[in-house]
Structure 1
Amino acid sequence: MRLIVLVSLTMVAFAANSILGRLAIGGGYMEATSFGLLRLFSGAVTLITLCVFSGLSLRRDLRQALWGAAALSIYIVGFSVAYQDLDAGLGALILFGVVQVSMFLWGACSGSPVSAGQIGGAGIALAGLAFVVWPTDGASVAPLRASLLMALGGLGWAAYSLLGRGARAPLAATAVNFAVATLMMVPGVMLFGGDIVFTRAGIFLAVLSGAVTSGLGYALWYHVLPQLSPAVAATVQLSVPVIAILAGAALLGEDIAVALVIGSAAVLGGIAVVVLSAPGRRAAARSKTMAER
């Protein structure tokens, strides 16, 4: 029961990033890149504090830190700028779909065994994303530029996730990446930030997103992740776009269009097929059953 509660809190935290980002940026409370910079800084402070109290060393290979921070910066920029125009739930769907499909395609291109079911599932998910951006009735649910920016953010997060695989101390690695990415974002904000907008509400939302739903959310995820199988960890994240869509409708008054419902079902269903059709998964399940007998 405790594990279920912790996992649920983590998924809510992940979805809340989209709600907070859309509210602050789309609501005009803060300029997009400045929001991303403050989110990174707040997350870095929180994560470094957690590492210090946990006795974790922050020493890390410089090259790995630079690559990780660069990927994280791409995610933050794409995410933040896209939420000038995208609804919270729609943005979460595009982000989540691109991350999961990108990681699957990378694994397939890297020689990981792939089943026919996984190929079909990835195709369904991609078709769902395409349907959301270019619906069959000719009326676009999502602005194309913002959708592409969120997709770029998804590619950045997928790269960040792949770079972080096998990290011995993921919490410390994330703290360092947030800190370095904060420094990387400063010149970008100065060059491409446009009119700087700071309000008390915007600052509060950015700090809340960085310190709580990002910093503490990631720390909680790393705490529960060892207790979940890879398939369960991947499947449970299917709830994040759903939570964001429902919360966006309830808290921000966003419409839940029919095209969004159909596209969401295709994206999440396709990703579920990819996860459940992984080669060796059934064999592992049968072996576990035999062992229990």
Structure 2
Amino acid sequence: MSLARVLLLTTLAMLAFAANSLLCRLALRETGIDAASFTTIRLASGALMLWLVVRLRGGSAHTGGSADHPPHGSWASALALFAYAAAFSFAYRTLPAGAGALLLFGAVQATMIGYGLWRGERLGARQSAGMALAAAGLVGLLLPGLSAPPLQGAVLMLASGVAWGVYSLRGRGVANPAASTAGNFLRAVPFALALSLAQLSSASVDAAGAAGAAYAVASGALASGLGYALWYGALPLLRATSAATVQLSVPVLAALGAAAFLGEAITLRLMLASLAVLGGIALVIRSPRRASR
């Protein structure tokens, strides 16, 4: 595959990931859809799109399994995926898109780095400084003040990031990541339906809710389903550090998109927090970690 094609696939995937924040925030701020319905529609449409992608590639995303055809995905991973998607939607009822994407990304990376430390990896001086800088950026973003994001939404988004980090850790090393993701999306739909039933009293079925459903379909089928397919196409051709570093662009793209399309302000607090969090994480993932003895 040519370098130009790898760059194109990577760029489109990052734009798709950033679009998830914009679509969710737009739907919950401007339309009548509720967070539970958005989650269900997003996961169901994502499952359908990923199933189609896998089928077009000649594979299968089935979840049943047999001696000849082992199942793709798992219920534990599906639960983590559902927890990410549900907390993500409920957080964006109050969070600005840019701040939400930064909190999400910071929590994902913190979870994965923390897992490495728990497994015995050790950080050098530069990496330790990066961790401290990233933590200070998140604390600075959440400190009380006029431009601080709502606390409840921030906590939900941090929980969403932890869930996505767990999901990512569980998916490392799978033989067929696209089929595995499709299987996990399919398994996550029943959890989402149960949440929608529990939130039935707040469900929206009016015209504004229908517009929100269209945003949810776009988030699930395009930003999630096709976004993951594009990312998995580029991922084998990227070094691990390059793959991790390029994802630093997602919160920046989300903040710029929120300013351009949602009219959200890029505050000084958000800019400083972004520099600290993303710069600190870059220091960690760009330097080799030391294994424990």
Q: TM-score, normalised by structure 2?
A: 0.91
- One-letter amino acid matched to 2:130: G
2:54 is matched with 51
1:95 to 68, 79, 104: 104
The answer to whether 1:127 aligns with 2:132 is no
The answer to whether 1:165 aligns with 2:172 is yes
Conserved in 1, the CA contact under 8 Å of 2:80 and 2:166? yes
Range with bigger deviation, 104-113 or 220-229: 104-113
1:24 is matched with 27
- One-letter amino acid matched to 1:146: G
Deviations 1:23-47 (A, max 9, x none): 0012233101110110000000000
C-alpha distance 108-194 of structure 1, shift in aligned 2 (>3 A): farther
The answer to whether 1:269 aligns with 2:279 is yes
DSSP-derived class of the 1:274 partner? helix
C-alpha distance 193-134 of structure 1, shift in aligned 2 (>3 A): farther
1:257 is matched with 267
DSSP-derived class of the 1:185 partner? helix
The answer to whether 1:227 aligns with 2:237 is yes
Structure 1: runs of 5 or more not aligned: 281-293
1:62 CA drift (Å): 6.6
- Equivalents in 1 of 2:133, 2:200: separation in Å? 36
C-alpha distance 11-193 of structure 1, shift in aligned 2 (>3 A): farther
1:57 CA drift (Å): 2.9
- Equivalents in 1 of 2:172, 2:260: separation in Å? 36
1:113 CA drift (Å): 3.9
C-alpha distance 5-62 of structure 1, shift in aligned 2 (>3 A): closer
1:243 is matched with 253
- One-letter amino acid matched to 1:161: S
Alignment map for 1:75-94 (pairs within 5 Å): 75-94=84-103
The answer to whether 1:147 aligns with 2:154 is yes
Deviations 1:171-190 (A, max 9, x none): 00000100110111111121
1:3 CA drift (Å): 1.6
2:16 is matched with 13
Conserved in 2, the CA contact under 8 Å of 1:37 and 1:186? yes
1:129 CA drift (Å): 0.9
Among all aligned residue pairs of Structure 1 and Structure 2, give the percentage whose two residues are the same amino acid: 45
Range with bigger deviation, 269-278 or 172-181: 269-278
DSSP-derived class of the 2:202 partner? coil
Conserved in 2, the CA contact under 8 Å of 1:32 and 1:193? no
The answer to whether 1:177 aligns with 2:171 is no
The answer to whether 1:218 aligns with 2:228 is yes
C-alpha distance 194-75 of structure 1, shift in aligned 2 (>3 A): farther
1:286 is matched with none
Conserved in 1, the CA contact under 8 Å of 2:73 and 2:180? no
Conserved in 1, the CA contact under 8 Å of 2:13 and 2:230? yes
1:222 CA drift (Å): 0.3
Structure 2: runs of 5 or more not aligned: 64-69
- One-letter amino acid matched to 2:28: I
- Equivalents in 2 of 1:110, 1:131: separation in Å? 29
- Equivalents in 1 of 2:57, 2:286: separation in Å? 36
1:116 CA drift (Å): 2.5
Conserved in 2, the CA contact under 8 Å of 1:134 and 1:140? no
- Equivalents in 2 of 1:193, 1:168: separation in Å? 39
1:64 CA drift (Å): 5.5
Q: CA RMSD in A?
A: 1.6
The answer to whether 1:66 aligns with 2:75 is yes
DSSP-derived class of the 2:106 partner? helix
- Equivalents in 2 of 1:189, 1:16: separation in Å? 23
Q: TM-score, normalised by structure 1?
A: 0.91
1:278 CA drift (Å): 2.1
- Equivalents in 2 of 1:84, 1:250: separation in Å? 19
- Equivalents in 2 of 1:225, 1:63: separation in Å? 19
1:56 CA drift (Å): 1.4
